[in-house]
Chains A and B, each alone.
Chain A
């Protein structure tokens, strides 16, 4: 097997607060191949953004490690060599707040271009970057307030591309945009992925979108990975009861989609408070298949079918490989 571009090994991020410890990310393992789009899907409080921030070095893991192209990644962004920082970039959810309103598009793009090393051809590079994201060259002299929401996000993408990265963490890049604009952004991203050989960590709550763009989907709930599978397999036979609840809650537009949903698991209850997680499997208070064992033992993430991992007591553990092994 080739060297994965990114792996996470037993990653934990705990936030100590006055009244206890919040386990935002707990025992997370993942592996991502070069050129892959890994969709990290979860609702609020699932730990998906915390995970993204650890990849970027914004947060330091409490324990565990991340490797990038086979080498351990220094936990702190400041401790990372400049080449590593160029190689891993991020696009944030809200382009209105991730672009400085007092800097023109040109100024916003200049910084990472100089940082990327090719300072002599800044002007050409700006033209080139704008072209790559389908924006006219004259946009270089505009300010964020003169751009639409979708255009702002395209500038943010151009900025992330300025250092020639190989991995981009996309944190809900289209959640604040209308669907007609979302389609445009996604198309640009998918085209660039092929053209520039990029790998994406795509953080989102939108499973319908992941069905169309991700190679593999990873479901998180209350800090843990609950299910990982290649996209086709994932949507054909979702296993975890939470995944199935999530899928049956999605409002869809066509009859064909309605038919493609798994047998309905009606959504009940609410996500537990992060401070006092239920014992055993954290999903058990909402699970329609809850058994006695679920209230006591947290199930390990096991490979239930080839490439399809799930942490649920419904799937027996004999002869299965556990994630740590």
Chain B
């Protein structure tokens, strides 16, 4: 049984203009100890997907269909108490912006102690402190005692993100969801944070979902990749294969659009825009920007086998249609 299984998930948001049909049948599985990445551009539903898993969705959202099962249990239907247990001991999340994830008016000590108290019952003060120091050390923070007495504004961005990682480690014994953990940091600091995170999860055997829009970041981190576009998974496969042999037209164009360190000029990018979630195309959502669009693309494509262990949601791989 996989650790996490998301089946045909559909999430809508109610807004003034109507209903945003954001997630449209997202399927995702995560085995124990596995690291997967979700890549895609802004507003493609990456964060909505993992927030549904954590049950952290905003109040104007509704899960219109599908299920999320964690080790066989339905997360969306489980009682509050059980959910709280999951969040205390099994899974946790690291957010994108390290500054806004910490409360500015409390010291790191107050915030980290609270999380440790929440994670286990009946800890003595000394035990709590001892654990706090251990987690901070695991996150490669020197002088944990000085960090504990600091307010967030006294720490640099990289240190704050390390504190956030330490806080997530308290509860993430099985699953860690990292939502763009390095995006707001400088590239040399991001490199340090990603190496640290990888080392920790591999040592502890924690399963990871890493979300990012920076393609290079996932490449050295995860075993498998899901590519999202406009609320749908368009391609999945082993990291190497997806980067070396992208199959879905969107993945191909996205990888091509990244400026290369080896030069070769500026890529052309993807023309057009992501469709509005108010009135998304009824079939394949990439149809408005796809150079290969066909009549059949007005229907929703299934995931077809495309290359070795790879699957793409594109009619070009249904065995009937061909690229013109």
Contacts and interface: CB of A to CB of B under 8 A. Distances in A.
A260 B253 contact: no
A180 B192 contact: no
Interface residues of B, number: 41
B271 A184 contact: yes
Given A44-B186, A178-B213, A183-B259, 17 more contacts: A179-B215, A180-B257, A183-B268, A184-B271, A187-B266, A187-B268, A205-B187, A212-B260, A213-B266, A245-B188, A246-B188, A249-B187, A253-B255, A254-B243, A255-B244, A267-B189, A268-B192
Contacts of A267: 188-189, 191-192
A82 interface: no
A43 B213 contact: no
Contacts of B267: 183
A257 interface: yes
A96 interface: no
Given A180-B41, A190-B266, A267-B191, A251 B220 contact: yes
A250 B191 CA distance: 8
B261 A260 contact: yes
Given A43-B188, A183-B268, A268-B192, A211 B216 contact: no
Interface of A: 43-44, 148, 178-184, 186-187, 190, 205-209, 211-213, 235, 245-257, 260-261, 267-268, 270-271
Nearest to B215: A253
B124 interface: no
B261 A211 contact: yes
Interface of B: 41-42, 156, 158-159, 186-192, 194, 213-217, 219-220, 243-244, 253-255, 257-271, 273
A179 B258 contact: yes
A184 B253 CA distance: 13
Contact of A212 (B42, B266, B271): B266
A247 B216 CA distance: 13
A148 B273 contact: yes
Contact of A208 (B42, B191, B260, B271): B260
B41 A43 contact: no
B271 A235 contact: no
A32 to B, nearest CB: 21
A211 B220 contact: no
Given A180-B254, A268-B192, A253 B216 contact: yes
A40 to B, nearest CB: 15
Contacts of B261: 207-208, 211, 235, 247, 250, 252, 257, 260-261
B15 to A, nearest CB: 14
